[in-house]
Amino acid sequence: GIQVEQSPPDLILQEGANSTLRCNFSDSVNNLQWFHQNPWGQLINLFYIPSGTKQNGRLSATTVATERYSLLYISSSQTTDSGVYFCAPAWDSNYQLIWGAGTKLIIKP
Amino acid sequence: EAQVTQNPRYLITVTGKKLTVTCSQNMNHEYMSWYRQDPGLGLRQIYYSMNVEVTDKGDVPEGYKVSRKEKRNFPLILESPSPNQTSLYFCASSPQVEETQYFGPGTRLLVL
């Protein structure tokens, strides 16, 4: 099945900094999603982005499907951006999302 | 507001005492699923439902039951909970399978 690798695994930044999170995948995809799990455990869908670029406030995402990667950009980080960011690039044959291991982001005040 | 709701949010129970975690969505979504999340193991799917009256097993269905009698509701039933079912549980829905998935707030379950 498809392999998913997220990098970096951990990232610690000061408030106000910018960051780029990467998701590499081993096969073609057509429904990549980015999620944020906050420190209280809630999972929020950030982007559905099988290709191209989308922006939502300080967050944006780009997927280059032909090169098998997606990037999540966070600008002017705030402490509320802390948490784990998951990439889920595809569904398997049992109709389950395939998840990356996540990038744990800590934003220090 | 479009959302997926779960209840209860937190639950402490004892081994063998049947419990139900409710899940409801108000977005008219066809597809719903249940996940459990454990440290080091990530999110694993328990059961999913493509539509009303259609349910199927995910990766870790043992010890769980589900039903989908109405489109909006997808309860998770633990007939005889055991300590290894202590976990964080999420319900999710999407318009159709393989579309954007929306998650409920999660249910933290502790089985003593």
DSSP secondary structure, B55-87, as one string = EEE-S--TT-EE--SSSSB--EEESS--GGG-E
Reference B109, options B6, B32, B26; nearest CA is B6
Q: Over the stretch A2-49, which tens digit does the pLDDT of each residue have?
A: 899 999 999 999 999 999 999 999 998 878 999 999 999 999 999 999
CA of B51 vs chain A CAs: smallest distance (Å): 13
Note the pLDDT of residue A98.
Answer: 92
Binned at pLDDT 50, 70 and 90, residue B31 comes out as: very high
Q: What is the mean pLDDT of residues B22-36?
A: 97
Question: Quick check: helix, strand or coil at residue A56?
Answer: strand
User: Cβ distance B58 to A96 under 8 Å?
Assistant: yes
Note the pLDDT of residue A94.
Answer: 81
Using CA coordinates, name the residue in chain B closest to A95: B97
Q: Over the stretch B1-15, which tens digit does the pLDDT of each residue have?
A: 889 999 999 999 999
Q: Over the stretch B73-88, which tens digit does the pLDDT of each residue have?
A: 999 999 999 999 999 9
Reference A73, options A101, A109, A47; nearest CA is A47
CA B28/CA B10 separation, integer angstroms: 26
Q: What is the mean pLDDT of residues B95-112?
A: 94
A92 CB near a chain B CB, below 8 Å? no
Q: Which residues of A touch B56 (CB under 8 A)?
A: 94-95
User: Cβ distance A100 to A86 under 8 Å?
Assistant: yes
A45 CB near a chain B CB, below 8 Å? yes
A95 CB near a chain B CB, below 8 Å? yes
